[in-house]
Amino acid sequence: MAPDQDNLRAALVWAIEQQQAEAALRLAGAMVWLWWVLGQFGEGRAWLDRALVPEWSRSAPATARSKALYAAGCLAHYHGDEAGVGPLLDECEALSRTAGD
């Protein structure tokens, strides 16, 4: 996937600019492993923040949001931000329980 990273970034930009919450969260959540393998923890966290923080993203299905929160928590851990992990994974757990996952 590394050779297509620019295309994936372009898709994220589109989804975020168009406020396509589910698409932005699913794509950013799926890209966590690419960012992890490439050691791009900061870039991944920045994209996940752009997808998770806006109010419009809260309308996404719980499964999409929880996946992105889990990805953000993982990257926070690998990036050395242990204080940032808890709130992300707490929200992830709450959404997952609500969704019965």
Closest CA to 47 of 64, 66, 32, 63: 32
Residue 100, pLDDT above cutoff 90: no
Terminal CA-CA length for the chain: 28
CA separation for the pair 49, 94 (Å, rounded) = 19
Instruction: Quick: pLDDT tens for 12-64.
Output: 999 999 999 999 999 999 999 999 999 999 999 999 999 999 999 999 999 99
Cβ within 8 Å of residue 32, ≥6 positions away: 44, 48, 71, 74, 75
